[in-house]
């Protein structure tokens, strides 16, 4: 297989230093030798064939299965090397055909009904809560943080994210808030406990998240103000002054985008404001990476703005602001990965070594996608009326400052400490 390795990697690696040990024991070098060397080893010939034929799916599988082994540097270093090539990665014809086929298949098979949505969610979010404690911040914010400075810690950046989102909601005292995809409850507790929402309903499809969120509501004495329920967003009834959805839209799926915006419009009060925080693609519609779809987020779909805008415009919602958070998720994923790797032994005890490799690849691969490719986070603010949200954006910084004071003044954070959160 040495000829195949040479054929494939010579085209790709022009810069840096890649050293491959082939299944036959040969050592092959690629690149210009500059920079720290990255070394990989293939355990068997079929691993080489699989990688060359379908790298998008197989790289993650081979690494997870221990058939592609990092001998120098980690999998993240390998991804960096691959993305740091002078010529943009241009797939060979075969690769592009595979892409087209996947695009068509995804389009045809993508339907997230209520039951399937719940299975998709359980696949990821019902993992042992202790796993998430290993790498998330103390509030278990499992979405892109907001790094006000490059030096911010993960904890600081996640607090800043909550503030940023709360400020964009332009909450009025007593507002009824709906949080679609409430996770482990952190944002909902914050909106009720610090930001002054009158009543928060958080919905999730994950048993694990629901149990934790409900316990936190009880423990923080916010039971009267925050309610968490197991509910599909399509089944929610009523009208809300504010709707927030953070990191849930990625699971809505290709064919439910229209439903999502129409449903949100019907749930939003006439002078309501909505904040949708979602990962998306900056360069047009595409399908989810097949490895991510198979192993991490089944049924997920990352939207491009060109995909969302027609549905938003037709829904009758008015788009009032768009922030495009660039590289913030790369920083978040870097912090998650570093934390995870520092406590990898504990993760291996919860699951196993194979799981740890899969998780490392997930975090490293996503970071690469945000750092060097086309993946960003959209914060879309929507309303039913043009002037529901303030007409200049200063209120966001002002709101953040007020929330900072409220956090300090409240004596306690509405958010329980990390130790109390652990779901053991």
Q: Which residues are identified as catalytic?
A: 366
CB 24 within 8 A of CB 41: no
Q: Which is nearer to a copy of itself, 169 or 197 (CB)?
A: 169
The verdict on 282 binding a copy of itself (CB under 8 A) reads yes
Q: Which residue from 2, 54, 84, 148 is in contact with a copy of itself, where contact means CB under 8 A?
A: 148
The verdict on 316 binding a copy of itself (CB under 8 A) reads yes
Among 258, 257, 260, 252, smallest CA distance to 300 is for: 252
Q: Measured from the CB of residue 422, what is the shortest distance to a copy of itself in angstroms? A: 32
The verdict on 406 binding a copy of itself (CB under 8 A) reads no
Following CA atoms 410, 244, 309, 116 in sequence, which dihedral angle do they give, to the nearest 10 degrees?
Answer: 140
Number of residues that bind a copy of itself (CB under 8 A): 36
Q: Which residue from 172, 314, 354, 405 is in contact with a copy of itself, where contact means CB under 8 A?
A: 314
The CB density around residue 27, as the number of other CB atoms within 10 Å, is: 11
Q: Which residue from 313, 352, 353, 417 is in contact with a copy of itself, where contact means CB under 8 A?
A: 313
Q: Measured from the CB of residue 96, what is the shortest distance to a copy of itself in angstroms? A: 17
Alpha-carbon 13 to chain mean position: 29
Location of structure tokens 């993305």: 83
Helix (H) or strand (E) holding 378: strand 375-383
Q: Measured from the CB of residue 288, what is the shortest distance to a copy of itself in angstroms? A: 17
SS3 70: strand
Q: Measured from the CB of residue 227, what is the shortest distance to a copy of itself in angstroms? A: 33
* Strands (E) located in 22-114: 27-31, 38-42, 68-72
Q: Measured from the CB of residue 44, what is the shortest distance to a copy of itself in angstroms? A: 38
The CB density around residue 153, as the number of other CB atoms within 10 Å, is: 12
Stretch that binds a copy of itself, among 97-105, 175-183, 302-310, 342-350 (CB under 8 A): 302-310
Stretch that binds a copy of itself, among 48-56, 65-73, 145-153, 207-215 (CB under 8 A): 145-153
Helices and strands (DSSP H and E) totals, the chain: 18, 11
How far is Cα 300 from Cα 104, in angstroms, rounded to an integer? 15
Site string for a copy of itself, 373-392 (x = CB under 8 A): ---x---------xx---xx
Q: Which residue from 14, 44, 71, 283 is in contact with a copy of itself, where contact means CB under 8 A?
A: 283
Q: Measured from the CB of residue 238, what is the shortest distance to a copy of itself in angstroms? A: 24
Q: Measured from the CB of residue 297, what is the shortest distance to a copy of itself in angstroms? A: 22
The verdict on 41 binding a copy of itself (CB under 8 A) reads no
**Residues between 336 and 355 that touch a copy of itself (CB under 8 A):** none
The verdict on 306 binding a copy of itself (CB under 8 A) reads yes
User: Which 3-state string (H, E, C) describes 188-225?
Assistant: HHHHHHCCCCCEEEEEECCHHHHHHHHHHHHHCCCCCC
Following CA atoms 115, 103, 142, 334 in sequence, which dihedral angle do they give, to the nearest 10 degrees?
Answer: 160
CB 164 within 8 A of CB 223: no
Buried (b) or exposed (e) across 210-231, using 16+ Cβ within 10 A? Answer: bbbbbbbbeebebeebbbbeeb
Spatial CB neighbours of 178, under 8 Å, sequence gap ≥ 6: 200, 201, 202, 203, 236, 238, 240, 242, 243, 244, 267
Q: Which is nearer to a copy of itself, 34 or 394 (CB)?
A: 394
User: Both ends of the chain: CA-CA distance in Å?
Assistant: 49
The verdict on 309 binding a copy of itself (CB under 8 A) reads yes
Stretch that binds a copy of itself, among 46-54, 215-223, 309-317, 407-415 (CB under 8 A): 309-317
Q: Which residue from 326, 354, 412, 420 is in contact with a copy of itself, where contact means CB under 8 A?
A: 326
The verdict on 153 binding a copy of itself (CB under 8 A) reads no
The verdict on 318 binding a copy of itself (CB under 8 A) reads yes
Q: Which is nearer to a copy of itself, 215 or 373 (CB)?
A: 373
- By CB under 8 A, name the binding residues for a copy of itself: 146-148, 281-284, 304-306, 309-310, 312-314, 316, 318-328, 376, 386-387, 391-394, 396-397
């Amino acid at each position: 297989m040495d000829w195949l390795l040479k054929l494939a990697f010579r085209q790709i690696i022009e810069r840096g230093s890649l050293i491959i040990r082939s299944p036959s024991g040969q050592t092959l070098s690629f690149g210009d030798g500059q920079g720290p060397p990255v070394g990989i080893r293939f355990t068997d010939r079929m691993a080489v064939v699989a990688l060359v034929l379908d790298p998008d799916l197989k790289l993650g599988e081979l690494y997870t299965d221990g058939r592609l082994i990092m001998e120098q540097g980690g999998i993240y270093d390998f991804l960096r090397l691959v993305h740091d090539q002078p010529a943009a990665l241009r797939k060979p014809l075969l690769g592009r055909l595979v892409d087209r086929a996947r695009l068509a298949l995804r389009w045809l098979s993508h339907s997230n009904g209520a039951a399937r949505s719940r299975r998709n969610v359980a696949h990821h979010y019902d993992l042992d809560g202790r796993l998430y404690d290993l790498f998330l911040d103390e509030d278990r914010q499992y979405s892109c943080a907001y790094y006000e400075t490059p030096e911010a810690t993960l904890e600081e950046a996640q607090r800043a994210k909550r503030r940023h989102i709360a400020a964009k909601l332009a909450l009025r005292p007593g507002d009824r808030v709906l949080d679609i995809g409430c996770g482990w409850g952190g944002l909902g507790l914050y909106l009720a406990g610090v930001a002054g929402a009158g009543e928060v309903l958080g919905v999730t499809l994950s048993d694990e998240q629901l149990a934790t969120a409900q316990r936190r509501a009880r423990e923080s004495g916010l039971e009267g103000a925050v309610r968490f329920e197991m509910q599909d967003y399509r089944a929610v009834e009523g009208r809300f002054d504010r709707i927030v959805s953070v990191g849930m839209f990625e699971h809505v799926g290709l064919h439910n985008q229209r439903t999502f915006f129409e449903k949100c419009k019907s749930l939003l009060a006439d002078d309501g404001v909505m904040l949708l925080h979602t990962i998306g693609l900056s360069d047009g519609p595409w399908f989810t990476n097949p490895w991510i779809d198979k192993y991490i987020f089944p049924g997920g779909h990352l939207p491009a703005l060109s995909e969302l805008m027609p549905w938003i415009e037709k829904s009758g919602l008015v788009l009032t602001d768009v922030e495009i958070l660039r590289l913030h998720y790369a920083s978040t994923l870097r912090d998650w990965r570093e934390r995870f790797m520092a406590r990898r032994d504990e993760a291996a005890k919860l699951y196993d070594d194979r799981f740890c490799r899969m998780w490392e690849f997930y975090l490293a691969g996503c970071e690469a996608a945000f750092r060097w490719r086309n993946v960003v986070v959209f914060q879309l603010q929507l309303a039913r009326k043009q002037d529901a949200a303030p007409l200049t954006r200063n209120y966001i910084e002002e709101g953040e400052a007020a929330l900072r004071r409220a956090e300090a003044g409240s004596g306690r954070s509405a958010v329980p400490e990390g130790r109390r959160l652990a779901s053991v």
